[in-house]
Structures are given as structure tokens and as C-alpha cells.
């Protein structure tokens, strides 16, 4: 089975970005879930929200995902 995806750019730039960044997004979210799992086991206090938020954006950036492009 073959599939062909066609985008009418620049009008469908949003759809194009979502389609081509979905694998990167999945990878970023998986990495973050593993990070949170580790933090949950190692955290001494629940005051790590700021640290986790910053790490979330670092992981997205490492995977080439920029939320501003997808929203």
C-alpha cells in the first residue's frame, strides 16, 4: 500500500507542520514522560514544577518541535 500526501503551501502550512513534526513530537513526549518518571522517583519535594517546565521545552527543542509552529 502506498500513500501520497499533498499540501497546498503556504495555505496549508499548519497541516504540513503537524504532519511532518508528528514523529518528532511523539519522541519528545516520550522523552519527557521518562524524565517525569525519573523525577517522581528522585524528587525530595514537589516544588520542581519550574524545573520540569523548562526541561519540557528543552526536550521539545532537542526534537525539533516548536509549539508555536503547531498552534
User: Residue 70: enclosing H or E segment and its boundaries?
Assistant: helix 67-70
DSSP 9: T
Q: What is the pLDDT of residues 37-71, one digit of tens each?
A: 787 777 666 667 778 878 888 998 899 888 777 76
Residue 39 located in a structural domain: yes
Q: So what's the pLDDT on residue 45?
A: 66
Count up the domains in the chain and report the number: 1
pTM exceeds 0.85, yes or no: no
Q: What is the pLDDT of residues 18-31, one digit of tens each?
A: 999 888 988 898 89
The domain containing residue 37 runs over which residues?
A: 23-70
Residue 42 located in a structural domain: yes
DSSP 12: T
Q: Rg (Cα) of the chain, in Å, rounded?
A: 16
CB atoms within 10 A of CB 42: 8
Amino acid at each position: 500500500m502506498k500513500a501520497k500526501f499533498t499540501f497546498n503551501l503556504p495555505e496549508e502550512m499548519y497541516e504540513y507542520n503537524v504532519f511532518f513534526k508528528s514523529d518528532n513530537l511523539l519522541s519528545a513526549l516520550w522523552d519527557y514522560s521518562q524524565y517525569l518518571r525519573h523525577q517522581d522517583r528522585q524528587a525530595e519535594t514537589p516544588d520542581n514544577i519550574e524545573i520540569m517546565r523548562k526541561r519540557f521545552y528543552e526536550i521539545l527543542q532537542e526534537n525539533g518541535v516548536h509549539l508555536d509552529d503547531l498552534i
